[in-house]
Structure 1
Amino acid sequence: MALKYTVLGAGAMGLRFGVLLQELAGAKVDFVDNWAPQVETIKQQGGVYVSRDHENRHLVPINIYSPEEYDWAPDVLIVFAKQMTLSDLLQRSAHFFRPDHQYVFSGMNGMGHIEKINHYFPKEHVVAGTCLIGTVLNKAGDVDFIGKSGAGSINLAPQVGEPDERVKQIVEDFTTANINPHLNDNFYGTLLTKVVFNSVINTICTLFEIQMGQFIDYDGAEKLGKQLINEAFDVAERAGIQLLSTREEEWQTIKYVSEVTNPLHYPSMYQDMSKNRPTEVDYINGYIYDLGKKYNYEASTHDFLRNLVHLAENTRKFRQN
């Protein structure tokens, strides 16, 4: 029997995980979100509208609540908030946390969320992963799963220790839900490997407002990508973090996902930028640069791109509505 889940952060990825667990794994799933329009819209509709690759839009009934409305004790919390809003969501949800027996899985972008989660949950109950899955929140109450059924995958690892029976059950449920989890024991290497991926594809696609397939179509994409990859790997080596891939394998992953898996996908950072929301660039390229500085290494290309993204954010206020 599947575990009971509560999704904290019913945005694009939170909805995808929760809906798939509900529909394919038969899990009991609730959703909690601190964005009021999302909660209100889904309640009014009686569910969330789900499409796949812009087609077959249909209503999926789900249970959604604001943090203050909710008071149920699931087995597992799935956390998919933006880095900038996570502290607020956790604080407002703390009344239904049961850290002595609940586990937490998070597949958020960037770095910084684990420390916030550890404020409420012991490391022994924390599992984190990275998602090569494209999903778009078109508007409140309307989500689009990018890629065919079963497209994409996740890498995940327990924060400390060997995977216990609860972690194995999470992996089993994710497998049944067609999320394609790959379990390993390299926690920080797992997280940082995805940060490297995002530092290339999310940031460049956002700056030029392009899809992943449009980036990889450029004959200079490999040179751009490898410059960022090499700097990030230099930082990881100095920090003593073993990544899950080699430099060449990381480029090949970016190339494959951009060409084959999600060529029509606009990354989440672009989605934030296009809706005039703050981006997570400080938790991605900025994190790589700041980590390098601790070891007297200048990941200058990452710092340059971080500032370009902030420049692009700032200039949007001059655009005509």
Structure 2
Amino acid sequence: MKILVAGAGAMGSRFAYMLVKSGNDVVITDSWKQHIDVINNKGLKVLIDGYNMGTYRLPAFLPNEVHGEFDLIILLTKAMQLESMLQDIKHVFSDNTLVINLVSGLGNAEQILEYVTMDRLYVASNYWTAGLGGPGVVDAVGEGTIKLQIYKNDSSQYDEQVIDVLNSAGFRAKLSHDVFLDIWKELAVSSVINPMCAILDCTIAQFGAYKGNVEISRLILDEIVEVAKHENVVLNIEDILDKISSLFPDTVAGRHYPSMHQDLMTKRNTEIDYLNGYIVQLGLKYDVLTPINSIIRHQIKLKEQLNEGSKKR
């Protein structure tokens, strides 16, 4: 299958490696020119759990330079970069293109529907982790899972094909019967793990080793569960706590520094407004108090501001 991975940061690069390794014709695109140049000149070097998995040659382009037609486009940009990416690659969408949306957060599927019909758009929750060891180097740990579903339908004629492509590459993908609930669960998990590890400068396992991790998680999740009710989404807090604790082992994601931590360490803006910040906005909309998520958002936004100040020195 000819696949475009749109958004080839840490996660997109790991996905590209796994898809290439399983025999697909993969092209990647990203706006980080140095990363693209290194991949084109030297290949994509891959480290998984500390092991060198080799260097993989695959074509890499800046978004407005991508050309050709693709059977599948996998969207893995940051949420705030999605619209720009869609605009830059709109010329490669065709009536035959399938799209998998793996962009974090809620509401971005509606953006994508301006470029692809709903019968060809898969929305998904994603629990894979990834990191970068510099331009052109994937440095990732652990394994994950994916749940996906065609947009606003129970099933699609393309389900078997899409699942086969993903699972041949080792993604442990499953079809969901309520993917928007799955995405809400992922948002809830990410709204705990991402900011806590970013603020505390720790791995997922280090957060899990603190005996008060469940109490912290509950404080955050209580507000998310209450806000979700007003969106007609019923979240089970115990299920979410179980999912969070399942990430603690090193073989899953324990050694991982989440993307928000990576962004702050490299002085990039984070997706906080699409996680805890999104909960705060819904709280304002429905007159639900969200003080815990609000202070978390402020802490991350302050760290972003401090990073901006240090870059100007």
3-state SS of 1:74 partner: coil
CA distance in 2 between counterparts of 1:239 and 1:22 reads 39
TM-score w.r.t. the length of structure 1 is 0.92
- Does 2:89 align with 1:93? yes
Describe the superposition over 1:140-180 as per-residue Cα deviations: whole angstroms up to 9, x where unpaired. Answer: 10111211xxx211121221213212232111111111100
3-state SS of 2:5 partner: strand
Fraction of identical pairs, as percent: 28
- State how 1:304-319 maps to structure 2 within 5 Å: 304-317=295-308
TM-score w.r.t. the length of structure 2 is 0.94
- Does 2:214 align with 1:211? no
Query: What is the aligned partner in structure 2 of residue 239 from structure 1?
Result: 231
**Amino acid in the other structure paired with 1:158:** I
Contact 2:264-2:304 at 8 Å conserved across structures: yes
Query: What is the aligned partner in structure 1 of residue 7 from structure 2?
Result: 9
Query: What is the aligned partner in structure 1 of residue 28 from structure 2?
Result: 31
3-state SS of 1:258 partner: coil
3-state SS of 2:153 partner: coil
Query: What is the aligned partner in structure 1 of residue 118 from structure 2?
Result: 123
Q: 1:67 to 1:317 in 2, by over 3 A?
A: closer
**Amino acid in the other structure paired with 2:246:** Y
CA distance in 2 between counterparts of 1:144 and 1:111 reads 27
Give the CA deviation at 1:319: 5.3
- Does 2:127 align with 1:132? yes
CA distance in 2 between counterparts of 1:169 and 1:299 reads 42
CA distance in 1 between counterparts of 2:307 and 2:97 reads 42
Q: 1:74 to 1:318 in 2, by over 3 A?
A: closer
- State how 1:62-101 maps to structure 2 within 5 Å: 62-98=58-94, 100-101=95-96
Describe the superposition over 1:219-264 as per-residue Cα deviations: whole angstroms up to 9, x where unpaired. Answer: 1111000111121111112210244xx2111101111202351111
**Amino acid in the other structure paired with 1:15:** S
3-state SS of 2:79 partner: coil
Contact 2:147-2:179 at 8 Å conserved across structures: no
CA distance in 2 between counterparts of 1:315 and 1:217 reads 29
- State how 1:166-315 maps to structure 2 within 5 Å: 166-243=158-235, 246-260=236-250, 261-315=252-306
Contact 1:133-1:146 at 8 Å conserved across structures: no
Matched residue pairs, number? 311
- Does 2:41 align with 1:44? yes
CA distance in 1 between counterparts of 2:145 and 2:213 reads 23
Q: Which blocks of at least 5 consecutive residues in structure 1 are unaligned?
A: none
**Amino acid in the other structure paired with 1:35:** W
CA distance in 1 between counterparts of 2:50 and 2:180 reads 35
CA distance in 1 between counterparts of 2:25 and 2:160 reads 18
Describe the superposition over 1:96-137 as per-residue Cα deviations: whole angstroms up to 9, x where unpaired. Answer: 111x22111021222342232122122222112121112102
**Amino acid in the other structure paired with 1:199:** S
**Amino acid in the other structure paired with 2:248:** S
CA distance in 1 between counterparts of 2:301 and 2:232 reads 29
Q: Which blocks of at least 5 consecutive residues in structure 2 are unaligned?
A: none
Give the CA deviation at 1:295: 2.0
CA distance in 2 between counterparts of 1:264 and 1:35 reads 26
Query: What is the aligned partner in structure 2 of residue 142 from structure 1?
Result: 137
Contact 2:119-2:156 at 8 Å conserved across structures: no
CA distance in 1 between counterparts of 2:265 and 2:169 reads 30
> What is the root-mean-square deviation of aligned Cα atoms in Å?
1.7
